[in-house]
Structure 1
Amino acid sequence: MSTANSPFRIANYRAYWVARLCMTLAQYAMLLIIGWQTYNLARDGGMSVAEASGQLALIGLLQFVPLFLLTPFTGLAADHFDRRNLGRITVLLQLLCAATLATFTWQEAIGLPVLFTIAVFLGIARAFAGPALSALAPNLVPPAILPNAIALSSIAWQTGMIVGPAVGGVLYEVEPFLPYAVAAMLFAVAITSLSFIGEVPRGKKKAPAKPIQQVREGLVYVWQNKMVLGSITLDLFAVFLAGATALFPVYARDILQVGASGLSQLAMAPAIGAALTALWFSFRPLKNNVGPKMLWSVAVFGLATVVFAFSTNMALSLAMLFIVGAADMISVYIRQSLIQLHTPDDKRGRVSAVSLLTIGASNEFGDFFSGSLAFLIGPVAAVALGGTGAIITVGLWAVLFPVLRTTKTFDPPDNLLEGDDDPHSEPAKQGS
């Protein structure tokens, strides 16, 4: 990637990237410790492995419910209000959550009710932050370098996923309140960085419609554009089924028996694989056969998850999680590029909201599903069954959405570039 084509030459994008990095560092440091505290409080309180896994399931559910209920309206907000201001407000709410957890932990008053309450507020914050910040990114760079910008943004995200858990685990062993205190400071840096983003161009706005009608327009666009629908739902079902991350505390304490430091390594392994993949794409972006590569990457994701499920060796477990992260990054890179480039700007907030709802369903609600399944059949069987389900999903989606098999490039259709957002048009160049 030449300097002339680098998104970093754009000041607004640099500020956005720093904010994304700091916010992700803080989020993943917090989420790791929230899960660790929840599981240990449950186990130390006399709960069995299965019962404590159920508490992890509840944490996931409490984050998902506000995301599910608010998503149609958060997408509408991202399309009609200043996306920079929405980002600042949501980061501020997360800062307050971090400060609250730091205070309760420092005073040794932390308990499951506090953790559950904070999980709800984090769900609300992320419901609004996701659509606003995702829809903001395409406004900061020219369309020609958007895939590069997405790859670099993914590096910030994956770096946060790597360093955040590592820092969180180390700081927790020094003083349990420190991960939350540092997260609060990082959120403050993120707010400051977002404040440096100047005015950004927006697409042409159409005559305003009623709010419910606008929400419906976003949902209808996703439903009718088979490229967008297939990409979004592939991630939804694959990651929903194969969500092993929620059970990392179980593996760290009771299966691999590696403690808090091992928990950090488990959380870091998939993020390292994803970050290295994103770094590769920032220099060598994908150009051909993007649809088939997305399908194959999800299949590899599921297979590596199955192997991880049965592993009792830390080295093998880390290797499989590295592959999980790399495969997931390929899918994320392709999916986000296709969705952003195949959606008109006036609908990007709402479409991003739908996309992020499915990510929330696959992550937070997937955590609930994994924890609940672990409660019923045990953690190993739950993770193995989920990985198998992801592989089956790939086969089904290749049949149900043939456009995913035939899509060759990221190029949007000519009528979309010209401002016609008719979702019935063929959404991608296809092979013979």
Structure 2
Amino acid sequence: MPALVSHPDEVKVISRRFGMGAADIEKYIELDGYKAVQQAIANGPAWIIDTMKASGLRGRGGAGFPTGMKWSFVPKVSEKPKYVLVNGDESEPGTCKDHVIFLHDPHAVIEGTMIAGLAIGSKLGFIYLRGEYRYLLKIVEKAVADAYAKGFLGKNIFGTGVDFDIITQTGAGAYEVGEESALMESLEGKRGVPRIKPPFPAVVGLYGGPTVINNAETIANAPHILLMGGEAYAKLGTERNGGTRLFGISGHVERPGVYELPMGYSLRKAIYEVAGGIKDGKKLKAVVPGGASCPVLTADEIDVGLDFDQMGKAGTMLGSGGIVVLDETVSIVEFALRTIAFYQHESCGWCIPCREGTDWIKKTLTRVYNGGGSRKDVDNVQYLAENMMGRTFCPLGDAAAMPTLGFVKKFRKEFEEYIDGNRAGTPLITVEQLVGAGH
């Protein structure tokens, strides 16, 4: 089990049971487990949704959509069954926070799934884990089995006459199925490609029924919010960005790890105080603030708060909470190539702008990296990325284009110096070896 890290500035809500053995159902119950879902049964759907709206909780998977509002979109009456789908397909490079929830507090995900189900009138939930998280599947499956054994899942839960079931599932290692409609396709046993929207999942989702899809961290927050109250949770964060968030800080820092910080916490403090500063006393060069799909920030742009709105104003995104810190030794040319190579590999190929755009950007940056590029290539990369934006069925095209644009706009001088011969003649490995070594 990975060692847990901590810092005095952390505000532990979702992580308060980490390291306390809460994967065991008896310990989870001892630590106020399954109390929130019983409150939810007693108070009803409207109370649940109102509490979630008051909390200011926004989707922790990256989109940042208000959770309570999302749940309220599901029609109250439906001819088809309603479903809750937990997106545990954590595949964004630099992001490593959902796995600690499944590892240390899987019952919070189960209880949150039940609460979401009660809010929308669903009797069945699915917990979908990324394919590489097979080791976590055993933990989650045991937690589900223990909940059934206690009478917390199945027929007549808690003796209240309410029925609710949960099914676990893993993917096959495809980043694309982290997109909600591709996730539904995968769960239905089909190829994981995105659906055209509208209709949206809240109306026509899994198996054609109304469906709520939330990230695992979002769902795991629900029991804590109901217990502490929506207003109290909201006050922990900033306006329109309630609560706390798990941030995975990695890269060139002294204390990498997953930390729970209030929404709006200073990015500079997260790097230099929480994570202990730049490793080995080197200088900061750049930060990817929310996973690989987020536009890069330079060392001069880190005086910004970690919430959706402040990050948006800074020209980037909070994303999935993966803060990747790059020191002065990093080649942005190489880092940009690694990034686009990932997205090119993971593109499902469903739509032309993404399939062809990622491939051509990768080819162009490979040529640049191998010493055969020209300054015109930088313009071409920017042109390709700009023409991918907003022209794909799902956000993967944007996820590839946005960081690419950030790299070439903010570090154009480095690209040009590289092309002009500063690194010419250096023995290089192939892009396949490059990506394979760091993927």
What range describes the TM-score normalised by the shorter chain of this pair? under 0.3
Choose between structure 1 and 2: higher helix proportion: 1
- Report the TM-score when normalising by structure 1: 0.25
Choose between structure 1 and 2: higher strand proportion: 2
Answer with 1 or 2: which has the greater Rg. 2
- Report the TM-score when normalising by structure 2: 0.24
Higher RCO (CA 8 Å, separation ≥ 6 residues): 1
